[in-house]
A and B are shown apart, each in its own frame.
Chain A
Amino acid sequence: MSVADFTTTLPRLTSAPKTAPRGELTLSNIHKNFNGSLAKALSDVSLTVKSGEFVVVVGPSGCGKSTLLNVAAGMIKPDSGKAMLDGRPISAPGPDRAMVFQDHGLFPWLTAEQNIAFGLKMANVHKSERRDRVAAALQMVHLSQSAGKLVHELSGGMRQRVAIARALVMDPAVLLMDEPFAALDAQTRTLLHEQLQSIWCQTHKTILFVTHSVGEAVRLADRIVILHAHPGRIRREVKVTLPHPRDFDSPDITQMVHLVRREIEDEVNRVNAQMAGDYWKPETADDLGSHSVNLGDGI
């Protein structure tokens, strides 16, 4: 199976799919409250990711963005609200919603190749087909040379690419990515942004991506969803209309980053002030304003 085969089996973003849409993720009125915490991790969050859309969720630490992703993955059950994929309710984790974790989550006892083949093996895919699909996935992340390496023999960036290949090889309806590049150095991150962008342009997978980096969001997303913290709630959505593939150095991107960052800084300040309020109670609104320092802290 080649890269071309991947693309033909999937609906394009631009052409309207004739069959039932695949990869439409609908989260409606999701509430989630973890034991012992006062503020809700998620409060009435509704989000629809259309088939083939690349949506990035950004927000300050603790805003519940990972929780949201885990609800979509079926790892966390919401207190109330519905999570659906293509009209079917999500109840448990499964390979149709493949996830890329921040700490890759590759199995250290397997080689890169065996890690990628793992999901296919669990799905009882025949050996010869498995081999072809793994080879195609390895090629897609440019790791054919490292197929036989063990996880600890790979660099951080390579591990994350294997993790992406492991998810893509399952041909999932949705790709869920939980801060996958947060632990990488800046150069590697940019490289992986380019690779992910080109993979997305080839496959047009539905992607729900969570990050705290605004730059990352603007580079990759069709649509950016900005989350509030305490309680976790959608604050705003920003459409990024720049065409793919993007030149990450273009001034459009820089400008967009500023805009979104402004938006989040306001949010962070509000949260900081709220948390400072545990020790210090503002008398008036002006009082509050003069004490909101640490701009951008936590981004």
Chain B
Amino acid sequence: MIWVLILLTWEMAYRFIGWKPWIFPAPSHLLDAFLGLLNFPTAFGDPIHRGWPRAAMEGIRLHAWYLSPLIHAPLVSGIRLLGGFALSITLGATLGLAMWRWIELDKFLGPLFLGMQTLPSVCWVPLAILAFGINERGVLFVLVMGSFFAVAISLRDGLRAIPPLYQRAGLMLGARGWRLYRYVLLPASLPALASSLRQGFSFAWRSLMGAEFVFIAVPNHGLGYLLEQGRNVSDVAQVIAVMIVMVLLGILADRLIFAPLQRRISLRFGLTVE
């Protein structure tokens, strides 16, 4: 309701005060940008006239909606994310576990990783370009470097928070060697694992968007490319529309995957009460 009111006011401001749409587009322009990216060109943003909101379509041939950039780009980004995130979790979890297990390693890597975690992921781009060139491997490199430090650090911290009592109880009950890991420490670390996944995902998503934004010459076009394309043709509406899509997809992934996962684990452990 509040959102409707805000959008209406915004739209009215454009219609009656005369804000310039090439600087600050109205909701109707954003709608046009969305539908345009879905291969449905419209002109909601135009002054209302006969034939509104149909767009002028001379000489433009469009593919079907399922071949549109707004469908294609998130798919490309999604596939990159899946691959890169899987790699980043594997690497991060391994190192996080190792840092928890061997204090000497943690003394050496811990501060380094903490520093790396604060490094904005875009700072990996020049290195990626020099090392791998402008290709998928470069994108992947930025994604992994931008997220696996966070996974490692948050997993290590989570593992450290496991009450030592569980380990003692496990030993007392005869869980030795790998069985202590498999049946005591692994389940005990589930809450930590879930939150490190969630943390890692948001880092990975951010890194990917940044990487795609720079690596526009890579043949497959992700969401970041659409953003840069919008800037290139000075289409502010498209830029903002794509940003909104990025945010919405981030929220969606969190709501559909990570939040429910963490909630289930918390309930099981009695960390939250329904």
Contacts and interface: CB of A to CB of B under 8 A. Distances in A.
Interface of A: 73, 75, 92-95, 97-99, 101, 103, 105-110, 118-119, 121-123, 150-153, 166, 170
B166 to A, nearest CB: 6
Given A107-B184, A109-B268, A150-B270, A119 B173 contact: yes
The 9 lowest CB-CB distance pairs between A and B, nearest first, are A152-B270, A119-B173, A105-B169, A122-B174, A93-B171, A105-B165, A95-B174, A109-B187, A108-B269
B172 A109 contact: no
B169 A153 contact: no
Q: Classify chain B: how many residues form its interface, as a range.
A: 10 to 19
Interface in B165-179: 165-166, 168-169, 171-175, 179
Contacts of B166: 105, 107
Interface in B137-182: 165-166, 168-169, 171-175, 179
Main secondary structure of the interface of B (DSSP, over half): helix
A93 B175 CA distance: 10
B52 interface: no
Given A95-B173, A95-B174, A166-B173, A152 B269 contact: yes
A114 B226 CA distance: 52
Contacts of B87: none
A166 B170 CA distance: 11
A93 B172 contact: yes
Contacts of A108: 268-270
B188 interface: yes
B169 A101 contact: yes
Given A118-B183, A122-B183, A107 B169 contact: yes
B168 to A, nearest CB: 6
B172 A98 contact: yes
B177 to A, nearest CB: 11
